[in-house]
Amino acid sequence: MQMLHCRVQCSRGPTGLPWPRHAPSGTSRIAALWQQTASTLRWGGGWLSPTRRGGTPPMTLWWSSTPSWRLRGLLSTVMTQLKVNSFNDHDVDLIKEYAKVMSHVVKALDKIQGEDQAYLGTLLPTVAATVFRLKDLKSKGLVYCSPLVDALLAGIDKRFGLLLEDEECQLAAAFHPRFRLIWLEKYDNTKVAKVRESMEGKVEEVMRQESNEVGSNSGGSNEEDDFFSAVIQLKESSRSHTSLKSKAKNLVKTWLETNSKDLLTDAAFLGEQVLVDLFIKFNTAIPSSAAVERLFSMGKDILRAKRSSLSDENFGMLMFMKGNEHLMDKMENEKKRKN
């Protein structure tokens, strides 16, 4: 219900065209219903009762297993009890179309704000996928929500337009095993060659650093080698530069031609330390602060008033255990499965 109440350009679209005449009445009823339910949490037999973290809310289970005709009847009963005008057919159509449009935005936010794939490389592919889905939805014909889609697309372009041109964000996705440059080929094929060239440059740079480290650690040379270095060093350096450039180009070509994998345990990914190093370099940043905010909330739950005397070491261990609780559950399930 909160998602339905979140409105973007409800009265007018970005082009100034008004919504259909049924839209304002429908959104006003949604707002009134939301305000009533926010102040009366016990309505509908406790549908809004809290659940444990990670569980499915009872209202979600009930809602997904109840026929739509029964839902509408029960919702009308609730709205009558709360003294809110019931939804008519146009309002129901508006809500369905609105939910269909906003579902793509909600899924995108879940991807960006999640913790399982909290890498910077997921940002641009998520934005591109959202734009594709919204445009596809509009092309199929919308009765009420075309101005909403236009407003969403304009907002996405305003907020993420510069990031779509940012080299670091592009490279973060390019070195991610799942996305590479597949998403960019579909979104804007004109940028593929430039990003690919940047990838080759970064790979060559890492290879050169590793080569220099190996050369410096290989041991000192005698005086005779030093004597001839003036006439042979330049040629060897040029040959080494050409060799590294060719290796970097071939590595990037192989990386982009390999089928994308969702897992970071992909053999093609782990088989090249250069790719792992570049993945870490460009994907250490997270696309959203939501994961950090959850960490602070977790710390607040642990460091309560009665635990104010916790040492830094114990607090750190409790935070570590709480943050990795899902991994411990996974290990327990694997042990049970093996046994």
The pLDDT tens digits for 139-195 are: 988 888 889 999 999 999 999 999 999 999 999 999 998 898 989 988 989 999 999
- pLDDT higher than threshold 60 for residue 93: yes
Does residue 10 sit in helix, strand or coil? coil
- pLDDT higher than threshold 50 for residue 4: no
What pLDDT band is residue 225 in, cutting at 50, 70 and 90? low
Q: Distance between CA atoms of 1 and 64, rounded to whole angstroms?
A: 14
pLDDT at 15: 43
Between 231 and 52, the higher pLDDT residue: 231
Q: Distance between CA atoms of 284 and 289, rounded to whole angstroms?
A: 13
Per mean pLDDT, which of 33-42, 208-217, 236-245, 246-255 is the most reliable? 246-255
- pLDDT higher than threshold 50 for residue 16: no
**Structure tokens given for 213:** 């480290």
* Structure confidence by residue, pLDDT tens digits, 97-126: 888 999 999 999 888 888 777 889 999 999
DSSP secondary structure letters along 60-109: HHHHHTS-HHHHHHHHHHHHHHTT-PPP-HHHHHHHHHHHHHHHHHHHHH
**Structure tokens given for 227:** 């004597």
Per-residue pLDDT, averaged over 71-92, amounts to: 73
Per-residue pLDDT, averaged over 265-270, amounts to: 66
pLDDT at 235: 53
pLDDT at 88: 75
What pLDDT band is residue 207 in, cutting at 50, 70 and 90? confident
Per-residue pLDDT, averaged over 19-31, amounts to: 61
pLDDT at 237: 54
pLDDT at 245: 86
List the domain boundaries for the chain.
Answer: 2-40+82-165, 170-216+240-283, 290-338
Q: Give residue 79's Cα distance to chain centre.
A: 36
Per-residue pLDDT, averaged over 69-80, amounts to: 69
Per mean pLDDT, which of 42-46, 219-223, 311-315 is the most reliable? 311-315
pLDDT at 10: 41
- pLDDT higher than threshold 60 for residue 52: no
What pLDDT band is residue 262 in, cutting at 50, 70 and 90? low
Q: Distance between CA atoms of 203 and 51, rounded to whole angstroms?
A: 48
Residues for the chain: how many in total? 339
What pLDDT band is residue 80 in, cutting at 50, 70 and 90? confident
pLDDT at 129: 93
> 14 with 154: CB under 8 angstroms?
yes
Between 2 and 101, the higher pLDDT residue: 101
pLDDT at 174: 92
pTM score, whole prediction: 0.70
pLDDT at 288: 82
What pLDDT band is residue 214 in, cutting at 50, 70 and 90? low
- pLDDT higher than threshold 60 for residue 272: yes
The residues, ordered by sequence, that sit 6+ positions from 32 with a Cβ below 8 Å of its Cβ are: 84, 85
What is the DSSP code (8-state) at residue 87? P
Between 322 and 134, the higher pLDDT residue: 134
